[in-house]
Amino acid sequence: MENICSNCKTNITPVWRRYTLTVEEAAGYYHIGENKLRSLINEHPHENFYVMNGNRVLIKRAKFEEYLEQATAV
């Protein structure tokens, strides 16, 4: 169940339900270092597990999980 602040317009969605995660959120959620995540993105520029929002990298949670399932090492 989602936590909704009744006094404000903030909707707090749990990380496991979000479509995209920041590099910092993904690092905490998957227990992979931020630098390692950034290097994975740089090493695999044509993978579909991330999207750029300006200069900001957003990781597509479900697609990244599929990538991790296929990977033998990170």
Helix runs in 1-74, H state only: 23-30, 34-43, 61-70
d(CA 29, CA 60): 13
Amino acid (one-letter) located at 43: E
pLDDT at 73 over 80: yes
- Is the model more confident about 60 or about 6? 60
Dihedral sign (CA 34, 48, 66, 43): negative
pLDDT in tens, 33-66: 999 999 999 999 999 999 999 999 999 999 999 9
Q: What is the pLDDT of residue 70?
A: 95
User: Architecture of domain 19-70 in CATH?
Assistant: Alpha-Beta Complex (3.90)
Q: What is the domain partition of the chain in residue ranges?
A: 19-70
